[in-house]
């Protein structure tokens, strides 16, 4: 009994934390972990709702490279980079999926600014640091102009297309400018206000590999020009003032939005495969606010009916089951916000089914206890035996269903089957939590209630549902 009191304290503490997570205004917390004055650690809490509930943007992207010039792994890496970009846009739980052998589908719940989202996703963001040494006028005449570099030339050859001479040819020599380093050598990038007070700049830091290239080059070219080129267009042509081993500043008279978008693209990496916009459509919420409200009310009504049934039919054990079921719902919703899990209609269906499995577990336990009491065993012995015998059945049935959910989740990663993955994920989470609540939580509540009401329960067997 003392052990059950300890478990009850643990359950109450976890329930208190889960309740805090479930509150509508809870967004988590941040703190400074290394004492540098920057909050860089903490806990993020957010509610993720799918396109069928809140609407949003669905974008279909087509690879521009000819078939056979890239592998499926290249396409998956491109999809990963797209995913990092849309995550950095602040989109709540976007969906990025490879479709077929040359397409990527992006779903952005809650997004309304179509142009900004598509531009951030689609742009290849090939950043190059290019050698402009020896040019008259230090290369300032090329700012905002398109030039050909050795890196772009390699990409064009891979695409098996011919560059337009007027657009790409080097007006000085007719040959490509030498690319010293690409954006792959960047560790991080962030938009900052220009210290001159006009516009914004992007501050960047180098990786160890980038530093081994960039440091020696800038050290050997002090006093000469170097071009910063994005997707073939010269952003700026600054003069190298000193050796740069760790990072530097990209200038270009950027606005705040332009600097934030460029920094995002550089942090997310260039797309291994350039993408063409195939379609972009705004998706309305298929359920709608009124339908969501009705669904929530129907769910609440169903839970109330279940709670009343458990209390009326099983009496005192039913009270413990009701408390355990409420705890189960609280734990599930907290996990959904902590992961976070995108709540679509199929995902909500999976959650509701898991509530049914939690009720089934409690029914199985109480029926076992009633059998032991009818066999003449005392309260404590009947409860211990009932929970032990029921646990084996609950464990086996839940694990077999969890295996099925894992299979569904795996196949739900294929294009067009994401709704299956959402259903499987919420059901699997509910089944795992049920293994804890159906046995330990229910037993902790029931043990404390039995201890408080031992004498009335021993005199009136009907209070135990017998």
Three-state SS string over 25-86 comes to CCCEEEECCCCCCCCCEEEECCCEECHHHHCEEEEEEEECCCCCCCCHHHHHHHHHHHHHHH
pLDDT digits (tens, 9 = 90+) for 269-314: 667 777 888 888 887 776 666 666 777 788 888 889 999 999 999 9
pLDDT at 441: 94
- Greatest mean pLDDT among 170-184, 239-253, 300-314, 452-466 lies in 300-314
Better-predicted residue by pLDDT, 248 or 198: 248
Could you tell me if 420 and 439 are in contact, meaning their C-beta atoms sit under 8 angstroms apart? Answer: no
* 381 has pLDDT over 80: yes
Neighbouring residues of 2: CB distance < 8 A, sequence distance ≥ 6: none
Reported confidence tier of residue 399, pLDDT bands at 50, 70, 90: very high
CA 19/CA 337 separation, integer angstroms: 11
Every domain of the chain with CATH number 3.30.1360.200 lies at 56-283
Lowest-confidence pick of 39-43, 105-109, 298-302, 357-361: 39-43
* H-helix segments, 62-172: 72-88, 114-122, 150-159, 165-168
Nearest-angstrom CA–CA distance, 404 and 423? 12
> Any idea what DSSP says for residue 199?
S
Query: What is the reported pLDDT for 439?
Result: 82
| Confidence (pLDDT) at 294 | 77
- Give Cα 258 to chain centroid, integer Å: 25
Over pLDDT 70: what percentage of the chain? 86
What is d(CA 337, CA 283) in angstroms, rounded to the nearest whole number?
23
| pLDDT greater than 80 at residue 403 | yes
Average pLDDT over residues 100-116: 83
Q: Quick one: pLDDT at residue 188?
A: 84
CATH 3.30.1360.200 at 56-283, yes or no: yes
pLDDT for the residue numbered 419: 73
pLDDT band (50, 70, 90) for residue 418? low
Which residues of the chain form CATH 1.20.1640.10?
2-26+288-464
Let me know: does 81 contact 272? Beta carbons within 8 Å. Answer: yes
Q: Within 10 A of 27 (CB to CB), how many other CB atoms are there?
A: 13
CA pair distance 213, 300, nearest whole angstrom: 62
Instruction: Extract the runs of DSSP E, i.e. beta strands, from 275-395.
Output: 275-283, 342-343
Q: Is the pLDDT of residue 45 over 60?
A: yes
Edge to edge, the sheet with strand 226-230 lists: 179-182, 127-131, 226-230, 233-236
Quote the pLDDT of residue 376.
87
| Cα pseudo-dihedral 269, 274, 280, 285, rounded to 10 | -40
pLDDT attached to residue 287: 65
**Higher-confidence residue: 348 or 293?**
348
Under the banding of pLDDT at 50, 70 and 90, the label for residue 121 is: confident
DSSP annotation of 441 reads: I
**2-26+288-464 CATH fold:** Multidrug efflux transporter AcrB transmembrane fold (1.20.1640)
Phi-psi region of 163 (alpha: psi -120 to 50; beta: other; left: phi over 0): beta
Mean pLDDT value across residues 382-393: 90
Asked if the peptide bond before residue 23 counts as cis, ω within 30 degrees of 0, the response is: no
Please tell me the distance from the alpha carbon of residue 235 to that of residue 240, in angstroms, as a whole number.
Answer: 15
Contacts of 362 (CB under 8 A, 6+ apart): 310, 317, 321, 324, 325, 438, 442
pLDDT at 39 exceeding the cut of 90? no
CA 324 from chain center: how many Å?
29
- Average pLDDT in the chain: 83
115-129, 160-174, 244-258, 295-309: the lowest-pLDDT one: 160-174
Q: What is the DSSP letter of 439?
A: I
Q: Reading across the β-sheet that carries 103-109, which strands appear in turn?
A: 95-99, 103-109, 56-63, 275-283
Q: For 286-313, give the DSSP string.
A: SSHHHHHHHHHHHHHHHHHHHHHHHHHH
Q: What percentage of the chain exceeds 90 in pLDDT?
A: 29
Residue 221 has pLDDT above 60, yes or no: yes
pLDDT band at 170 (very low <50, low <70, confident <90, very high): very low
Reported as half-sphere exposure (CB side, CA atoms, 13 A), residue 114 has a value of 12
**Lowest-confidence segment of 123-127, 353-357, 365-369, 435-439 by average pLDDT:** 123-127
Enclosing H/E stretch for 399: helix 379-411
Q: How confident is the model at residue 166 (pLDDT cuts 50, 70, 90)?
A: very low
Predicted TM-score (pTM) of this structure: 0.63
What pLDDT score was predicted for residue 122?
72
Q: Name the range with the highest mean pLDDT among 65-79, 85-99, 111-125, 178-192.
A: 178-192
């Amino acid at each position: 009994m003392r052990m059950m009191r300890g478990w009850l304290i643990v359950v109450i503490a976890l329930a208190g934390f889960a309740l805090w997570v479930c509150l509508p205004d809870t967004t988590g917390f941040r703190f400074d972990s290394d004492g540098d004055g920057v909050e860089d650690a903490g806990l993020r809490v957010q509610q993720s709702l799918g396109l069928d509930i809140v609407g949003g943007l669905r974008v279909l992207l087509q690879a521009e490279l000819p078939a056979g010039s890239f592998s499926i792994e290249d396409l998956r890496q491109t999809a990963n980079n797209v995913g990092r970009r849309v995550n950095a846009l602040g989109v709540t739980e976007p969906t990025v999926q490879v479709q077929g052998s040359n397409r990527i589908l992006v779903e952005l719940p809650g997004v309304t600014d179509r142009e900004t989202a598509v531009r951030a996703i689609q742009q290849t963001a090939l950043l190059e640091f290019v050698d402009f040494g020896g040019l008259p006028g230090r290369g300032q005449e090329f700012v905002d102009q398109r030039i050909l570099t050795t890196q772009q030339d390699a990409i064009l050859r891979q695409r098996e297309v011919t560059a337009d001479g007027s657009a790409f040819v080097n007006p000085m020599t007719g040959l490509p400018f030498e690319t010293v380093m690409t954006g792959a050598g960047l560790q991080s990038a962030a938009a900052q206000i220009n210290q001159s007070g006009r516009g914004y700049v992007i501050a960047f830091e180098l990786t160890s590999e980038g530093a081994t290239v960039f440091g020696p080059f800038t050290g050997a070219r002090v006093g000469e020009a170097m071009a910063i080129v994005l997707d073939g267009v010269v952003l700026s042509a600054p003069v190298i003032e000193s050796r740069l081993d760790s990072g530097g500043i990209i200038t270009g008279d950027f606005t705040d939005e332009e600097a934030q978008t460029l920094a995002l693209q550089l942090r997310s990496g260039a797309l291994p495969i350039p993408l063409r916009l195939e379609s972009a459509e705004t998706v309305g919420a298929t359920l709608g606010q009124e339908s969501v409200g009705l669904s929530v009310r129907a769910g609440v009504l169903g839970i109330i009916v279940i709670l009343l049934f458990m209390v009326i039919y099983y009496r005192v054990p039913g009270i413990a089951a009701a408390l355990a079921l409420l705890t189960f719902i609280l734990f599930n919703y907290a996990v959904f916000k902590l992961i976070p899990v995108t709540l679509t209609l199929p995902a909500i269906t999976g959650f509701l089914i898991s509530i049914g499995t939690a009720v089934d577990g409690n029914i199985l336990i109480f029926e076992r206890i009633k059998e032991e009491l009818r066999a003449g065993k005392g309260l404590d012995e009947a409860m211990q035996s009932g929970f032990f015998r029921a646990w084996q059945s609950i464990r086996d049935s839940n694990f077999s269903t969890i295996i099925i959910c894992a299979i569904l989740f795996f196949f739900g990663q294929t294009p067009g089957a994401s709704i299956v993955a959402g259903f499987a994920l919420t059901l699997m989470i509910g089944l795992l939590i049920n293994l804890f609540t159906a046995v330990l939580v229910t037993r902790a509540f029931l043990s404390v209630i039995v201890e408080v009401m031992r004498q009335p329960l021993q005199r009136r067997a009907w209070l135990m549902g017998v």
